[in-house]
Amino acid sequence: MTTLIIDGHPNPDSLCAEIARRYSVAHGDARVLALRDLEFDHNMRFGYTRRQELEPDLQRAWQLLLDADHVVVVTPVWWGSVPALLKGFFDRLLLPRRAYRIKPNGLPEGLLSGRTGRVIVTTDSPWWYLRLAGDTTMRHVRQTTLGFCGIRPVHATRLGPVKGSSDELRARWLAKVERLGRTDAERRSGVERSKPVKA
C-alpha cells in the first residue's frame, strides 16, 4: 500500500506545503511530491500534435503515480482553478494512451483505475460562495482530472477562508488533515486485508 501526495503549491512556506507534510506524517506510508522541486516545462509546446518527451523528473513522477494506490492532491484555489505549476504537471503527465484513452464510441476510459483519491483545497472564499459559484477547482481536479483518468472514489476536503484566519483556526485545520491521513491509511489497510490471497 502506497500513497502519493502531490503538493501543487509553488511556495514551500505555504499552508498547502504544511498540509502535505502533516498528512504524510500522520498517514505513515506516503510520499510527498512537491511539484516546485521538479524541473520540467510546464507548457505543452505542441499541444497534442507532436510528442514532447518527458523530462527525468516527470518520468520519476509517472512511476510514483503508477506505484501508488491512493493519490492525494493538495492545492490552493487560484482564479477558480489551480496554480499554473499544477495545471502544467497535469497537462504534461496525464497523456492519452497512458492515463486515459478514447474508446471507439467516443467516450473516455481512465487507465489509472484501481486507485482512490483525495483532493484537499485551500481557499479564501467562504463555503457558501463556492456553492454559488460552482466550486470549479474541486470539480476540475476531482472529476475532470483524477476521475477522468479512472481514479475513484475521490474524497474532497475544503479548508478556508484562509485569508485572515487565526493561528488557532489553522491549527484546527492541520489537526483535521492529520486525522484524514490516519483515516485514509486505515481505510487502505482494510482494503488490502480484504483482498483475496493468491496462491
- For residue 193, what pLDDT is reported? 46
Provide the pairing of β-strand 116-122 with 154-159.
parallel
What the chain holds in terms of domains, given with CATH numbers, is: 3-194 (3.40.50.360)
- d(C-alpha 55, C-alpha 41), whole Å: 8
The separation between CA 187 and the C-alpha centre of its own chain, rounded to angstroms, equals 18
Looking at the chain, the number of H-run helices and the number of E-run strands are 6, 7
- For residue 116, what pLDDT is reported? 97
- For residue 108, what pLDDT is reported? 93
Q: Residue 19 in contact with residue 74, Cβ under 8 Å?
A: yes
- For residue 91, what pLDDT is reported? 97
- For residue 128, what pLDDT is reported? 86
- For residue 192, what pLDDT is reported? 54
User: Which residues in the chain come in under a pLDDT of 50?
Assistant: 193-199
Residue 44 CB partners (closer than 8 Å, separation 6+): 52, 91, 92
- For 88-130, the pLDDT digits (tens) are 999 999 999 999 999 999 999 999 999 999 999 999 998 888 8
C-alpha cell belonging to residue 45: 509546446
- For residue 36, what pLDDT is reported? 98
